[in-house]
Amino acid sequence: MSTGRKTALSENTLFGMGNPLLDISAVVDKDFLDKFGLKLNDQILAEEKHKVLFEEIVKRNKVEYHAGGSTQNSVKIAQWMIQKPHKVATFFGCIGTDHFGEILKKKAEEAHVDAHYYEQNEEPTGTCAACITGDNRSLVANLAAANCYKKEKHLDLDSNWELVKKAKVYYIAGFFLTVSPESILKVAKHASDNNKIFCMNLSAPFISQFFKEPLMKVMPYVDILFGNETEAATFAKELGFETDDIAEIAKKTQNLPKENKKRQRVVVFTQGKDDTVATVGEKVTMFPVLDIDQNNIVDTNGAGDAFVGGFLYALVQEQDLEECIRAGHYAANVIIRRVGCTFPEKPDFH
């Protein structure tokens, strides 16, 4: 029987691991950003000085809570695009035994993602303050429990590792490099040794700047690397590429050392409303995004995660790069019309 798909999907085909966070999003003004020294469109880790920010943002008149965390968002979107069967996407990460943790479990279940959280009670469930100003968003993540993920306490357990082995495509955002690089390496090596697809994301400028060593340890195992234009520029600077031409950066990144020679690395850089840049074989190609009226953009929080989610949806079905990017553009276009990384009941992608 034909499902009309290129491949019939089975449970746990897509594996994601990262920081499960509850997004607390509110529209703020420039003064709020300045008060906490935030940039318009950035992602940072919370420091002591941001404690007050979390107290203040929840008091805003229109505050919304949504399940978040970059990798979790992406696998959730991929699952949403797939629809059936449920639980094609697996997710690992660490939460606390608290109310926010319960919300994340419930939301993952509603999204039909097979989430297996490592639960501990030392730290509360992580949160991310999404400070929205017009069509920009500044994210401040308080990892808390997310930072407590332990390879030997979770990933290494037979029942969990079996789920990892079932997957054909792996995706881990660069954010997780600050938590458990050894878990990432174990998964990345498994993918490489078995000629499966391992995907990663540059995630934020601070990853290339302050976590360059663990990032470059994983790089030889990366089959598909995602990032946006700012992250690409920072990465190029850190690696001394001596160019700010995004196509050139993509090419140089593609040519970095690689373990599994059976797969040529693919590099995909998004640029907001500008063309997405991708390496296609030996050349670099530009893919225009879908047009959208500025007035229809509610917030861009989750747009990058959604792009990856759409891309993964097509990738697990073994579709070509152009189709993966088209699906990514579709998902991002849906997400920016809504608050946070949320989506309508069903996709309308053909």
Instruction: Please state, in angstroms and as integers, the Cα–Cα distance from residue 106 to each residue in 44, 67, 113, 117, 247, following that order.
Output: 27, 9, 10, 12, 41
Mark whether 305 is an active-site residue. Answer: yes
**Which residues are CB-contacts of 284 (< 8 A; sequence separation ≥ 6)?**
247, 250, 251, 277, 278
Q: Give the separation between CA 199 and CA 93, rounded to whole angstroms.
A: 17
- Name residue, tokens 């001394």: 240
Q: Give the separation between CA 45 and CA 271, rounded to whole angstroms.
A: 23
Q: Is 158 exposed, middle or buried (0-12, 13-18, 19+ CB in 10 A)?
A: exposed
The answer to whether the CB of 30 falls within 8 A of the CB of 184 is no
Catalytic residue among 244, 305, 320, 348: 305
Q: Give the separation between CA 259 and CA 277, rounded to whole angstroms.
A: 24
- Name residue, tokens 């993602």: 113
**Beta bridge partner(s), residue 267:** 225
Catalytic residues: 305
